[in-house]
Amino acid sequence: MIFAAGIIGIVLIALSSIGSSDKAKETAKSAQNAQPDVQADEFKDKVTAELENILQKIDGVGECSVMLSVEGTAEYVFAENIDKTQEYASGGSNEHYRSEIVMIDSGSNQALVTKTLRPKINGVVVVCRGGGNVTIKERVIKAVSAALDLPYGKICVEGKTN
C-alpha cells in the first residue's frame, strides 16, 4: 500500500514537471514568433542605411541607393537547464534528459535569450552616380564585400541615371 502511494507520488511529480516544461517551451516559442518580421525589417533598414552612408563617402560614388536580399528572420537561442540522469542496471545503463527553458523572472512569461541570430544577407544591389565607372564599381564591390562578408558575385553595382 505504501509502495503504491510512493509510485503514484512519483508519477504526479513527473507529470507536473512535464507540464511546466511544455508551458515554458510554448512561452519561448511565442516570444520568438512575436515580432520576427518587424525585427528583420529593422535589421534590413539599418544595414541599408549604414551601407548607403559609408558608400557615399567613397570618392566618386556620389548619391546611392542600396537594396538587400535577405533570407529568413531573426532567430533566438534561449537559455536552458538540462538535467541528465543515468541509471545503471545489470543489463547496461540508461540516460534520461530533461530540459527546461530559463525564464527571466520566476513569475514572468519571458524566456532568457542567450543569442540572437540575424537574417542571412544573400545579395546586394547598389545604384550610384559613379556606378558606370569600372574603377568606382570595383571599389564599391570591395567595400560591400568587406562590410557584409559577401562574395563579389552576390554584389551588383550599376550607374544611376539623372
- Looking up residue 47, the CATH number of its domain turns out to be 3.30.300.30
pLDDT-derived band at 117 (thresholds 50, 70, 90) equals confident
Same domain, 6 and 40: no
> In the chain, how many domains are there?
2
Q: Which of 146, 122, 149, 121 is nearest to 58 (CA)?
A: 146
Q: What's the whole-number mean pLDDT along residues 2-19?
A: 51
Q: Is 130 exposed, middle or buried (0-12, 13-18, 19+ CB in 10 A)?
A: buried
Q: What is the DSSP letter of 112?
A: P
Tell which residue, 148, 162, 143, 158, has the closest CA to residue 68.
Answer: 148
| Structural domain for 88, as ranges | 1-34+75-117
Are residues 162 and 128 both part of a single domain? Answer: yes
* Mean confidence (pLDDT) of the chain: 77
The C-alpha cell that represents 141 in the structure block: 564591390
Are residues 68 and 84 both part of a single domain? no
Task: Determine what percent of the chain is predicted with pLDDT higher than 70.
Answer: 75
Residues 84 and 9 in one domain: yes
Side-chain-side CA neighbours of residue 97 (13 Å): 4
